[in-house]
Structure formats: structure tokens, C-alpha cells
Amino acid sequence: MDMIKVVILEDDQTQVDLTKKFLEQYSQTENCLFHVQSYNSPLEFLETYEYDADLIFLDIRMPGLTGMAVAREIRKKDESVTIIFITSLTQYAIEGYEVNAEDYIVKPINYPEFKIKLNRCLSRITLKNSRTVTFVTNDSIIKLSMDSITYIETDLHRLIFHDNESFTYVKHQSMKECEEEFKDTDFLRINSSYLVNLRYANNIQGGDMILSDGTRLKISRPRMNQVVKAFLDFKK
């Protein structure tokens, strides 16, 4: 498992230290690495946070700005980061569904419960990270499911990702690196410029691969036999 980036936002330093202690204990017994950042002030967090965490432990009741308000701000820029609320009152935890919180832990927290909930979250984070592509823009981070990508094309020194809702996303990466990243998935290189998700391939006709939305992508002659075989095998 890759290193998991964790943020703790909690105004009570004793609670911060306890959460860090539990993460360290989990790391030692479960062979999992964490990079942990902590904040005591919600305003400081919103001013400096770079929206790169995998998991956020978020206290609901804090002075100045509630954890729920912070979560709403997070969701404006990052819809996929996992949030676990830490609260002393279960009634507040129910509000977490509004911001798609993964879970909640009721204070005082204990390690057995912490471990169970962390296990569940990390399983989902690992699966999510292994099946998503991350795009960083000036004001947000977008994580796009691989399954929603129809094809990828090269454009000079960048890649353009096309999704199944006709949106495009740009990433500065070589096609070779991308092909390696998408190895052992349903994506197939059909020429030097295109990597296609076979889930969206409808037909091969006149030297083109035709996608479900009607897009036609040219198949290179040297790759034709390999592409046809892979397409037919996938459609069996």
C-alpha cells in the first residue's frame, strides 16, 4: 500500500495526539505508512490546505467554524477525499451524510473502534486510488474514475482524457507513462496517439475503432491484428 496522506483537524491538542498515537499503532501492526498533518484552527486549515489528502479526521464542534462548514468548503474543491467526523454527540454525525462523510467516531475514541473504522476506510481508499486518475487545476483537484474514461489522446507534451459525459481533462504526462499506469486494465493502445477503453468500443470498420458515442479513432496498420484480436476477445 502506498503512503496514505492524513489530515487531522481538531482544536483539542490532546485529541490530536491521541489520533496520532492510534495511527502510529496501526502503522506498526498493519504495515501501513501514514504522512500526517494536523491543524488546530479551521481557518488556518482552509487557508493553507493543498487538497492532497486521502483521509481527513474532522472534529465537528470547533470555535470559529464548525467541522460541517469546513467539510462543505472541502467538497467545493474535492469531492472524493475521505472524511471521518470525530464528535462527542451522535446527533451531529447524521449531518455528515450531507457532505458525503465516510464515517464518524464518537468521543472518547478507543483503539478497537478506531481500527475497525480505519480498516474499512483504507480498503475503500486503496481501491479508489488504484482506479482513478487525478487532475490538478488552479482551484481544484479532480479524481476521475478510470471506468468513465472513453479514450486518451496525445497533444504535444500533454494528454487529453475524454470521459463518457463528453468532458475533457488535461494532464502533462507522456503516453508511455500513461500506458504503464493503465497496464492490466481494459485500455488498449491502438496507435501512437490513442489509448482506448474497450468498454466503449462498439466496432472496427474501415481501419477505425468506433466508440459508443460515434467517435472514430484511426488504428495504425502495424497494430491492426493485435487490436482486432484484443477487441474480439474483450467482446466474447
Over residues 152-162, the mean pLDDT reads: 94
Could you give phi then psi for residue 59, rounded to 5 degrees?
-70, 135
Helix, strand, or coil here: 47? helix
Q: Which of 124, 125, 123, 103 is nearest to 114 (CA)?
A: 103
Instruction: Tell me if domain 4-130 and domain 141-235 are identical in fold.
Output: no
- pLDDT surpassing 70 at residue 43: yes
| Largest CA-CA distance found in the chain, in angstroms, rounded | 68
Could you give phi then psi for residue 194, rounded to 5 degrees?
-125, 135
Q: Contact, 43 vs 65, CB < 8 A?
A: yes
- pLDDT surpassing 90 at residue 151: yes
- The CATH number of the domain covering residues in 141-235: 2.40.50.1020
Over residues 151-169, the mean pLDDT reads: 93
Helix, strand, or coil here: 235? helix
Q: Return the domain boundaries, the chain.
A: 4-130, 141-235
Over residues 221-234, the mean pLDDT reads: 94
Per-residue pLDDT tens digits for 171-204: 999 999 999 988 888 899 999 999 999 989 999 9
Over residues 153-176, the mean pLDDT reads: 92
Q: Contact, 119 vs 111, CB < 8 A?
A: no
pTM score, two decimals? 0.62
Give me the percent of the chain exceeding a pLDDT of 90: 58
- pLDDT surpassing 70 at residue 93: no
Per-residue pLDDT tens digits for 122-136: 988 877 766 788 888
Q: pLDDT class for 95, splitting at 50, 70, 90?
A: low
CA distances from 139 to 21, 58, 69 (A): 33, 22, 19
Give me the percent of the chain exceeding a pLDDT of 70: 94
Architecture per CATH, domain 4-130, reads as 3-Layer(aba) Sandwich (3.40)
Relative to beta strand 55-59, strand 34-39 is unpaired
Per-residue model confidence (pLDDT) at position 134? 85
Over residues 62-81, the mean pLDDT reads: 87
